Chains A and B, each alone.
Chain A
Amino acid sequence: MSFREILNSGKFVVTAEVGPPKGTDIKEMIHHMEVLKGKIDAANITDNQSAVMRICSMAVCKIAMDHGLEPILQMTCRDRNRIGLQSDLLGASILGIQNVLCMTGDHVSAGDHKGAKPVYDVESVQLLKIVDGLNNGKDMSGNEMKGSTNFFQGAVVTPEANPLEPQLIKFDKKVKAGAKFFQTQAIYDIDKFKEFMKHARKFSVKVLAGFVVLKSAGMANFLNNNVPGIRVPQTLIDELKAAGKEKALDTGMNITARHIKQLKEENICDGVHIMAIGMEDKVPVIMERAGLL
């Protein structure tokens, strides 16, 4: 079954992230793919994440398929104008890529080519509309195409954004623009996430809660201070502290597993998205502890 079919069947899905490397040596990335194969339902292939130049997402999506993983093509609006985006989407479609995650993309000032000209000819909401158009046989200018795409298109949302309401307004616009599924920024407070889900459940879209494993109390504090839309509650920071240096990572994995289990048991959302950031090996362990394997 495809990711779309699994998600629509009502099964609790798991996606994880695979980050393309900088350079042509893809041994480690392929190892990650092999670890994830058969365990997760789809793999997000990031698009020059944090505006750091790496292998393009589309090529790595193809490699993922060759290694038995269903890819979700992450597509940002930072580096391509509307012609480039549409052309890449058509290319992705003929390669057999079925899922696309539409994002605006981190600003070039976050990355390693700070002098680059940011494109942002369109943004996430408009990109979703473009995908919807291509799925219906029309390009953005309304020209009829010979053969249409059949993408399952998704978007991102930050359930703990501050302030929240403008973020929710944008969420609604993304739904209206055709988003079928959402993957969220990392969440750490299930009660707050439930509040967000009350809003999201007004629409018939699927929501996958995002997870970033906490490796230490220091990392939790770093995320709180530096990463927009992430709020690690003090109780979790205390739990990591109490575990001590040796056991902090293990405790972080337990926290993630515990949260995933709760989401599934209480039927709070439709699945989870684990952003392992270099610890792809640990994804199956977390899934096992969450009772998903």
Chain B
Amino acid sequence: MIITKKREFKDLMENIKGYKSFFLIGCSECATLCGTGGEPELKSMKEVLEAEGKAVTGSFIAKTGCQVLGTKVELKPFKDAIDKAECIIVMSCGAGTQTAVELYEDKAVYPANDSLFLGNMTRLQFFDERCSLCGRCILDKTGGICPITACPKGILNGPCGGCKDGHCEISPDIKCAWVRIYERMKKLNKLQELCETTIEAKDWSAAQKPRTLIAREEKKK
């Protein structure tokens, strides 16, 4: 899921200081799990805004805020409330924010959150980054542990000299990605494979932005 955290409230207030009325959009997926765009967060945003003398014309939690068409349909019943608002505050990730930007061309839209990374939730509201969406997966060569993400240097062929007692040079709280890969390959009886494969430099063109994908076959007219 996409991991978000609340932006500094004073930065948001600075953004919206010229507006008086707002419509709030949350998201039932990642932002709800992150505690940045679910029911309680929308409620407290409303309260804070009202305490600052602003009006909230309505609020809504999209099922999947990054889904443009679905969100558009879901928002139809809120037309009046949205028309009345001078500005929309989106409490999901940057993708959700840009759904609103696309749907409301003439309205100011501001993000309430910073979008951080694609994360795994390890327990309630504990997240870590395991995949950086590089575009060409090499997990098949690294025992299923991603060094591009788990190693701060993205090293592809074994630990650097900074590895200390199995931990990463940048922090004793991070286990060295290459020690993890080594240990897993050892368990899988695949050390030989690890020794024999030199992973080539990545072709970063697969991560060239902005990326688009059409995953279905286009219907012939």
Contacts and interface: CB of A to CB of B under 8 A. Distances in A.
Interface of A: 77-78, 82, 104-107, 109-110, 118, 120-126, 129, 140, 156-158, 161-163, 165-167, 169-170, 172-173, 176-177, 185, 228-229
Interface string B182-211: 100000000100110010111010000000
B136 to A, nearest CB: 15
Q: Which 6 A-B pairs have the closest CB atoms?
A: A170-B158, A228-B164, A125-B157, A166-B182, A126-B201, A158-B161
Contacts of A165: 182
Interface residues of B, number: 29
B152 A166 contact: no
Contact of B162 (A77, A106, A123, A163): A106
18 contacts: A104-B153, A104-B155, A106-B162, A107-B162, A118-B152, A123-B156, A123-B157, A124-B160, A125-B158, A140-B201, A167-B158, A169-B158, A170-B157, A173-B198, A228-B161, A228-B164, A228-B169, A229-B161
B212 to A, nearest CB: 24
Contact of B153 (A123, A140, A170, A172): A123
Nearest to B162: A228
Contacts, number: 95
Given A118-B152, A125-B158, A140-B201, 11 more contacts: A104-B155, A104-B160, A107-B162, A109-B152, A123-B153, A123-B157, A125-B156, A126-B200, A157-B161, A170-B157, A229-B163
Nearest to B157: A125
Contact of B157 (A109, A110, A157, A173): A173
Given A161-B159, A169-B158, A121 B169 contact: no
Nearest to B200: A126
Given A120-B153, A120-B155, A170-B158, A229 B164 contact: yes
B205 to A, nearest CB: 12
B152 A107 contact: yes
Contacts of A162: 164-166
B110 interface: no
B104 to A, nearest CB: 34
Contacts of B204: 121
Nearest to B165: A162
A125 B198 contact: yes
